[in-house]
Structure 1
Amino acid sequence: MADAALLSPRDPAWTEALDRVRHDIYHIPEYVRLDAGLTGGTPVAFRYDEADRVFLLPLLLRPVPDTDLQDATSPYGYPGPVGSEDAAFWSRAAGMMRELLCTEGVVTAFARLHPLLAGPHEALAPAGTLLNHGETVSIDLTLSLDELWSQTHRSHRNQINKATRAGVEIVFDDWTLYDTWIDTYHATMRRVGATDFYFFGTEHFHNLRDALADHVHLAVAALDGRVLGGNLFFEYDGMMHTHLQSTADAPIHYADKLLYHAVRTWGRERGNRIYHLGGGVGGSADSLFRYKSQFAAGRHRFHTWRVITDPSNFEKLAGPPTPESLTGRFPPYR
């Protein structure tokens, strides 16, 4: 017997499904609930069951302006579907998700797939559009320290050594420095011209720490008592992810390079398997991707999944689907 449902974060069926499959911090209800607070969306998870198999995808439901409709999108990060690794099962789950969301007045669904969690992602294509955006970078923490160092580009190695000689120190989980680090984060966002979305407030940062507890960590680079920057990162089931990194406006003495090196060393010592740095903006092979790629050789394909759940209302909002509307900004009416 098959069963499909949309679950609230309070429903124990959400965590019960996660207990049965490999997943990451982006899938837990505490993270999805917190992320929903940034946009005013409603946190849910689509769950599909067949016998002993389960499929789960976290989503945020958002009202479509000037309508009584909704659309669904991924929380920030990589909360793609997880489940029993059976392609035919995933295909049926995707079809059921499209049908259920349509009955709930949801016009489209957009999901970022998880680069590290292998699954039969190609089975999602019949229900929507699977788009390859490029690669992300990871560090294999099962390698020796010498192997990690040898995979680091020569220029990064030189600058890490310069930061060390300058006296830059990396401090882990000193939360008395959190608010000062938040100031450097906001300075970074102003410097790069980030959109309003990325100016997360101080309250959100403190709620993040409270919600994720021992799964969120802070590495701060300091010199002579001045915070040069820091790395807020996640640690969950042997996987680490940089969540947000920042640097101060003043000279930072290559603290950004030393931070990545110190965090990977810290993670390796704690027995983690992989440290995911992410990719370029939108998955592109831009300067940010090249910067990250000079720390390690690990590469992973990054995909998004775009689903039209209600074709009739989609056409009213955006016109007939075209290759451009399915592969560009999605949904196009946003």
Structure 2
Amino acid sequence: MAYRLINFQQSEEWTAYVRNSVNYDFYHTWHYHSLEKNGDPFLFVYEESDVFIALPLLKREIANSGLYDLTSVYGYSGPISNRKFADISDQILENFKYFFLNFMNTGRYICVFCRLNPFIDQKVLIEKIGGISDNGKTVYMDLSISIEEQRTGYEKRMGRQIRHLRKMPYIIKEAKTKGEIRSFTAMYNENMLRLKAEKNYFFNEDYFAAIIKEDSCKLIVMYDGIKMICGAIIMCCGGIIRNHLSATAVDYVNQSPSKLLTDEISIIGRQLGMKYFHLGGGLGGREDSLFKFKSSFSNLFLEDSTWKFVSDTFVYNDLIKERKSDLNINYFPLYRYPEMIIK
């Protein structure tokens, strides 16, 4: 009965725990964490008898405080285990809670944020600790049905637009060359500028080149003649395919080639033996235009949840007061809100 920390240099041990888990995602892997620039990655592992529970996290320093907080990578991570969480005894779950809270206390970690994975039964464990927050609904497609049946479920206008796009002389292919990665990177970052995205949503060529080195990740692009007009990084893991990051050329936004690309990714998912295509939800869990776009492909939803746990409420509130005292917004941790400054 003990816990241990697997650091970033221990890639083989990290990979072994992930691969021995009943369910895991690409977001849990060492390779994905190796691309992370917003914190120091490590794997918290609790073991008891023949059961382990592993939780990948990022350590971040809280400026001018001597304190730290924990967060997760962009995507759906959370705890994993070599047992389904529902099959783990209540005592082991309680012991995990005890040792994890002890780890947070001794390490001066004030809080933890993590976006939970809707395809893994993580709430069974996290409910023991507390801090689960509803983040709306997330959309997915069932790839076990035929593509014809899937398309009958599209919103009618979406179906018509995709059929029209299929008649266009567009070419969809997997991209692997440096030139294609460079073109996609430029298109993607141009999209982020247009959308006024936060800086952590911008990536360079090295990031995209590194992520598609893994067999489970591919860059799928669409051309109109010699011009790249749309593309997406797709991830395949645990029977699930995802559109991780995508972009459309500014001149083609009104033609919406991403609708055709989404339909095509569902075909690729079937070819690769995936069970589900996870489209995701709206920005910040809202049922916004992004959510409406995704739900026009499918009426299948899962609960989307985040984990926002504060281990020391007194210190957490002090950090907020030091930076700004009267901000009432939904942001966690609040002291890291971009507009907050130390007085």
Structure-to-structure mapping, 1:245-256, within 5 angstroms: 245-251=246-252, 253-256=255-258
> Could you tell me which residue of structure 1 aligns to residue 263 of structure 2?
261
> Could you tell me which residue of structure 2 aligns to residue 18 of structure 1?
18
The answer (yes or no) to whether the contact 1:25–1:236 under 8 Å persists in 2 is yes
1:115 to 114, 118, 143: 118
Per-residue deviation, residues 155-174 of structure 1 (Å, max 9, x unmatched):
11111111121212211234
Q: Does residue 98 of the first structure (1) align with residue 101 of the second (2)?
A: yes
Let me know the Cα RMSD of the aligned residues. 2.1
Structure-to-structure mapping, 1:1-334, within 5 angstroms: 2-11=1-10, 12-21=12-21, 22-35=23-36, 37=37, 39=38, 41-83=39-81, 84=83, 85=85, 86=88, 88=90, 89-119=92-122, 121-175=123-177, 176-210=179-213, 213-251=214-252, 253-318=255-320, 328-334=330-336
The answer (yes or no) to whether the contact 2:76–2:115 under 8 Å persists in 1 is yes
| C-alpha distance in 2 between matches for 1:257 and 1:299 | 19
Per-residue deviation, residues 224-282 of structure 1 (Å, max 9, x unmatched):
21111111111123211111111011035331111001111011022111111111001
Note the C-alpha offset of 1:62.
0.6
Amino acid at match of 2:158: H
- Report SS of the residue matched to 1:181: helix
Amino acid at match of 2:116: L
Change (3 A) 1:327 1:194: closer
Note the C-alpha offset of 1:136.
0.6
- Report SS of the residue matched to 1:251: helix
| C-alpha distance in 1 between matches for 2:210 and 2:41 | 16
| C-alpha distance in 2 between matches for 1:280 and 1:96 | 35
| C-alpha distance in 1 between matches for 2:89 and 2:266 | 34
| C-alpha distance in 2 between matches for 1:199 and 1:68 | 29
Note the C-alpha offset of 1:312.
4.6
Amino acid at match of 1:115: P
| C-alpha distance in 1 between matches for 2:272 and 2:20 | 24
Note the C-alpha offset of 1:110.
0.8
Note the C-alpha offset of 1:87.
6.4
**Identity over aligned pairs, percent:** 28
| C-alpha distance in 2 between matches for 1:133 and 1:87 | 28
- Contiguous gaps of at least 5 residues in structure 2: 337-343
Larger mean CA deviation between 55-64 and 246-255 belongs to 246-255
TM-score (norm 2): 0.88
Q: How many residues align?
A: 323
Amino acid at match of 2:4: A
Amino acid at match of 1:5: R
| C-alpha distance in 2 between matches for 1:179 and 1:153 | 34
Amino acid at match of 1:241: R
The answer (yes or no) to whether the contact 1:43–1:60 under 8 Å persists in 2 is yes
| C-alpha distance in 2 between matches for 1:95 and 1:275 | 36
Note the C-alpha offset of 1:10.
3.0
| C-alpha distance in 1 between matches for 2:96 and 2:328 | 21
- Report SS of the residue matched to 1:290: helix
The answer (yes or no) to whether the contact 1:90–1:124 under 8 Å persists in 2 is no
Per-residue deviation, residues 185-208 of structure 1 (Å, max 9, x unmatched):
112112211122212122222232
- Contiguous gaps of at least 5 residues in structure 1: none
Per-residue deviation, residues 107-141 of structure 1 (Å, max 9, x unmatched):
1111110011233x044234231101111111111
| C-alpha distance in 2 between matches for 1:221 and 1:167 | 10
TM-score (norm 1): 0.90
> Could you tell me which residue of structure 1 aligns to residue 340 of structure 2?
none
